[in-house]
Chain A
Amino acid sequence: DSGVTQTPKHLITATGQRVTLRCSPRSGDLSVYWYQQSLDQGLQFLIQYYNGEERAKGNILERFSAQQFPDLHSELNLSSLELGDSALYFCASSVGLDRASYEQYFGPGTRLTVT
């Protein structure tokens, strides 16, 4: 158990809908990362937050957005969903941004199925 929690575990929704994925980082971790893993592919970095502020963006679509709240949990919002958005979405956390924080701890993922 990495200490990172994600809810829900599974989500099935229809095209055009909007969903929210939730992540709680390990206790004490300030940095949260979101990754997308499409079927049998590697993980693609989406976005990073540190202590409530956006720090880096990767291959994140404009239909997707995220935020990190004062209690450090994070939410990833996916809107106008398309079939191709079906994937496993991982959240990871690390202590901070400095060199000592190089290790990321991954949550169990949320499997999103768009029908």
Chain B
Amino acid sequence: AQTVTQSQPEMSVQEAETVTLSCTYDTSESDYYLFWYKQPPSRQMILVIRQEAYKQQNATENRFSVNFQKAAKSFSLKISDSQLGDAAMYFCAYRSPYNNNDMRFGAGTRLTVKP
């Protein structure tokens, strides 16, 4: 079964600085999808960025980018120019296209942004 590991329970960053959140996963599949979700205090799950495993190019969405290392099964999220509104729990998630599409989530990283 696929597992997702986020080894940093908590991270903090100074406003306007850059922070990287780590995620590793375990799978025997060659094709899959990876996601980062943000969960602010409102508890809404907000999709931040997604990556298809067959794409070599790292995904980027404005200030958010990923470093996808398929061989190492690593999928880190970089937040540039951090803003106070970035403070939230961040979840890494894996989705298989073969297994009825259910999503496997990591335990999350709580990001604090210091003014």
Please list the residues of chain A having a beta carbon within 8 angstroms of any beta carbon in chain B.
31, 33, 35, 40-45, 48, 55-56, 58, 88, 90, 92, 94, 97, 99, 101-106, 108-109, 111
Contact = CB atoms under 8 A, between A and B. Distances in A.
Interface in B14-70: 33, 37, 42-45, 47, 50, 52
Q: Which of A35, A43, A90, A105 has the most CB of B within 10 A?
A: A43
Given A90-B45, A97-B101, A102 B95 contact: yes
14 contacts: A31-B101, A33-B101, A33-B102, A40-B108, A43-B103, A45-B103, A48-B100, A48-B102, A55-B100, A56-B100, A58-B102, A102-B50, A102-B95, A108-B42
Contacts of A97: 100-101
B75 interface: no
Given A44-B105, A102-B95, 17 more contacts: A33-B102, A35-B103, A42-B4, A42-B91, A45-B104, A56-B101, A58-B102, A94-B101, A99-B97, A102-B50, A102-B97, A103-B47, A105-B47, A108-B43, A108-B44, A109-B43, A111-B43
A83 B63 CA distance: 41
B107 interface: yes
Contacts, number: 64
Contacts of B106: 42
A106 B45 contact: yes
A109 B107 contact: no
Dominant SS among interface residues on chain A: strand
Interface of B: 4, 33, 37, 42-45, 47, 50, 52, 89, 91, 93, 95, 97, 99-108
The 8 A-B residue pairs whose C-beta atoms are closest, nearest first, are: A56-B100, A42-B105, A106-B45, A45-B102, A43-B105, A102-B33, A42-B107, A55-B100
